[in-house]
């Protein structure tokens, strides 16, 4: 694996994580029925709260995971060179 291929793979992982996070937020929005304006407001606040908690934790986990994987892959790529 070349460094360019590795960086493409890394970018794909970031994109996939963002997609999964957006899907979870959309799932939370579509899960409840909206019967009145008050329901819409409470649903928006709940979704915002979930987004505020979920997204940074996902990025934090992904950053830690990618840092660990980066070290291992770069060592292997250096050995091949």
- For the chain, give every domain's residue range: 3-80
Segments of the chain assigned E as strands: none
Q: Provide the pLDDT confidence category of residue 77 given band limits of 50, 70 and 90.
A: confident
Each residue's pLDDT tens digit, 40-71:
667 777 777 777 777 777 777 777 777 788 78
Select from 67, 78, 70, 62 the least CA-distant residue to 13: 62
Query: For the ranges 12-16, 28-32, 40-44, 59-63, which has the lowest average pLDDT?
Result: 28-32
pTM: 0.41
How many CB atoms sit inside 10 A of residue 41's CB? 11
Long-range contacts of residues 57-61, Cβ cutoff 8 Å, at least 24 apart: 58/17, 58/20, 58/21, 59/17
């Amino acid at each position: 694996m070349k460094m360019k291929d590795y960086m493409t793979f890394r970018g794909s992982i970031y994109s996939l994580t963002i997609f999964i996070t957006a899907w979870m937020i959309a799932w939370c929005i579509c899960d409840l029925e909206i019967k009145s304006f008050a329901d819409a407001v409470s649903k928006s606040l709940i979704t915002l709260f979930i987004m505020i908690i979920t997204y940074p934790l996902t990025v934090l986990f992904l950053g830690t995971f990618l840092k660990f994987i980066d070290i291992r892959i770069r060592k292997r790529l250096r050995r091949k060179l």
